[in-house]
Amino acid sequence: MRVAIIDYGSGNLRSATKAFERAAREASIEAEIDLTDRPERVASADRVVLPGVGAYADCRRGLDAAGGMTEALREAIELGGRPFLGICVGMQLMSSRGLEKTVTAGLDWIPGDVVPMQPGDPALKIPQIGWNTLTLHREHPLFSGIPTGDGGLHAYFVHSYHLQAENPDDVVATVDYGGPTTAFVARDNKAGAQFHPEKSQMLGLALITNFLRWKP
Amino acid at 146: I
Q: Identify residues 45-74 at the interface with other proteins (CB under 8 A).
A: 53-55, 58
**Residue 140 annotated among the catalytic residues of the structure:** no
Q: How far apart are CA 148 and CA 209, in angstroms?
A: 16
**Cβ atoms within 10 Å of 114's Cβ, excluding its own:** 26
Which residue in 34, 69, 199, 210 binds other proteins (CB under 8 A)? 199
Which residue in 2, 15, 31, 35 binds other proteins (CB under 8 A)? 15
- Please identify, using beta-carbon distances, which residue of 84 and 157 lies nearer to other proteins: 157
Q: Are strands 161-165 and 110-116 parallel, antiparallel or unpaired?
A: antiparallel
User: Shortest approach of other proteins to residue 135 CB, angstroms?
Assistant: 7
130 binds other proteins (CB under 8 A): yes
C-alpha neighbours within 13 Å on the C-beta side of residue 203: 21
163 binds other proteins (CB under 8 A): no
DSSP secondary structure, 130-147, as one string: EEEE-EE-S--GGGTT--
13 binds other proteins (CB under 8 A): yes
**Residue 162 annotated among the catalytic residues of the structure:** no
Q: Which residues are catalytic?
A: 88, 196, 198
